[in-house]
Structure 1
């Protein structure tokens, strides 16, 4: 069966969509002549269009009747429900889509004829769930499952441009720091980010320029950190505003390291295979494994408070001295020729 169009549902947060990119890469590389299309939230429209594995975007307007008509008009050969909700089932249930595949979770899974296990295993990142869905789809249609790339978004040709944009001088290392958080884990307290940046700067053998990134509502937080760190004589700058999420996402290719809580920006850095430093809650569910970035394993550093019900969510208990030493050692080793 020749498929002209396939629709993938992933209409939630930025980080969740980023972690679908490995699955989308499998689908596009296995079916290069098929139009791979995604259903996403409005904030993700331009970013989804920039994804090299996506050919068309349908935006979740909230008007289910209009969405249903739009999906019906595009005459999809298959729909893959990565973000499974009863609402999505109701939108597509009577549409003429020959093959629909949904994951085996939630009670309404039984309304779908085709279901598959898309639950990532212990010790795997949650990005594996999307891949399992696509792998099941490809296997059901007797198609070879491609290898995953090391870098999911190759915009290295723009790296020098964005390094200049962020003011890099000579052999400086650009260390991006995103102190806000929009993820499931909290981030470090402001005083700890100040201490961390200062100690890393003092401990590394490399000249660093720290770049504070932030969204609109995080401007005061970033400004407070900038003011205090600047007093320590650290080379630090506030990121200049960019026109949209897509430009910001591209600009992260300039980074030599990206530090943040479990947020969308941290996962975007993983698309570029940039070394990432993540701060996660200390829980038995191992969020530092579950929410790991897409950077290669040796480029991922993760830190948590002591694991327990009492301490696991208290990010102020992260050992900043140990964290700063580990980051500095990584920079000294990884970037020393």
Structure 2
């Protein structure tokens, strides 16, 4: 049996779908599990132990994506996020069972749908995604344990910068447009000062391709003790996170990468219910998630306290 799970949007969205991949592969160990993902997640998806094959969802080449899905001879598809183009690809691929949330007009292209009302935020995105598996088997075991992403140890960054056994703490002040709650750069600098006060630590500032303005601002204010790093690839970023003690960021892709690797996180969320950790909490152990709502009650000193507790 060939099963296709699709999530063709951003990094964090794909990570919140990993528990679904895991539970499907565990429940159907003889099945071949395919992933249909966007270009940004393709290399990452190839590293996931419970994904057997990855297909690129190329929004600019409909026929190429369609032919790749057809070639896989998929019998069941599960889509955590849908649009009309995806629905057409799966329908034209003659997939017998096409599972999706009952949302948007595109739902008419799927023959097994589930009403979820995700905008009401009754559970996390992870749990909404997992609920789709119940359409195949209502008794399926949905329990999973971190880490969901395991990588071979890679000390390249540590060795290059002669960090020895220092605890690497990553600060990622950018957000690539995916979060509506974030600290100021000055706030992040204050948190970096707290990290430096702890014994045997190294501050590393990280930036994505959409964070160049923030990177330029930081370079004018940065402590000479800190390192600034823009990972050349997403997989390089994953290896650095995997070798780190803590990641401090807003609710964005790197937070979810750290979650998948079960690395400790301090994360800042917008104050709307939809943007909150009630919807977008990541997948590391609960005791490794330190989530703050960026509202009128937020106090930076609370994050400072957590940094000291984690690094003591």
TM-score calculated relative to the size of structure 2: 0.88
Equivalent-residue separation in structure 2 for 1:214 and 1:95 (angstroms): 39
Equivalent-residue separation in structure 1 for 2:303 and 2:265 (angstroms): 13
Q: Which runs of 5+ in 1 are unaligned?
A: 308-316, 333-337
Which of the residues 214, 224, 239 maps onto 1:221? 214
Question: Does the C-alpha gap of structure 1 residues 222 and 85 become closer, same or farther in structure 2, counting only changes over 3 Å?
Answer: same
- 1:189, distance to aligned residue in structure 2 (A): 1.4
Question: Does the C-alpha gap of structure 1 residues 241 and 86 become closer, same or farther in structure 2, counting only changes over 3 Å?
Answer: closer
Equivalent-residue separation in structure 2 for 1:320 and 1:104 (angstroms): 40
- 1:199, distance to aligned residue in structure 2 (A): 3.0
Conserved? CA contact 1:23–1:130, under 8 Å: yes
Q: Tell me the residue number matched to 1:320.
A: 300
Conserved? CA contact 1:179–1:193, under 8 Å: yes
TM-score calculated relative to the size of structure 1: 0.82
Matched, 1:280 2:276: no
Conserved? CA contact 1:272–1:295, under 8 Å: yes
Tell me the secondary structure at the aligned position of residue 147 of structure 1. coil
Equivalent-residue separation in structure 1 for 2:200 and 2:195 (angstroms): 11
Q: Tell me the residue number matched to 1:210.
A: 203
**What per-residue deviation string (whole Å, max 9, x for no partner) do you get for residues 230-272 of structure 1?**
16xxx42123644x21222133111100011111111101111
Q: Tell me the residue number matched to 2:226.
A: 236
Tell me the secondary structure at the aligned position of residue 248 of structure 1. helix
Q: Tell me the residue number matched to 2:243.
A: 254
- Is the deviation greater in 254-263 or in 115-124? 115-124
Q: Tell me the residue number matched to 1:147.
A: 143
Q: Tell me which structure has the larger Cα radius of gyration.
A: 1
Conserved? CA contact 2:123–2:278, under 8 Å: yes
Within 5 A, what are the aligned runs for 1:26-41? 26-41=23-38
Equivalent-residue separation in structure 2 for 1:224 and 1:201 (angstroms): 20
Equivalent-residue separation in structure 1 for 2:277 and 2:257 (angstroms): 16
RMSD: 2.5
Tell me the secondary structure at the aligned position of residue 193 of structure 1. helix
Q: Which runs of 5+ in 2 are unaligned?
A: none
Equivalent-residue separation in structure 2 for 1:112 and 1:249 (angstroms): 34
Equivalent-residue separation in structure 1 for 2:220 and 2:256 (angstroms): 27
- Is the deviation greater in 37-46 or in 16-25? 37-46
Within 5 A, what are the aligned runs for 1:1-337? 3=1, 5-61=2-58, 62-118=60-116, 122=121, 124-139=123-138, 144-145=140-141, 147-155=143-151, 157-158=152-153, 160=155, 163-165=158-160, 167-170=162-165, 172-182=166-176, 183-202=178-197, 204=198, 206-219=199-212, 221-222=214-215, 224-225=217-218, 227-230=220-223, 235-239=225-229, 241-242=231-232, 244-285=233-274, 287-306=276-295, 318-332=298-312
Tell me the secondary structure at the aligned position of residue 171 of structure 2. strand
- 1:151, distance to aligned residue in structure 2 (A): 1.0
Task: State how many pairs are aligned.
Answer: 309
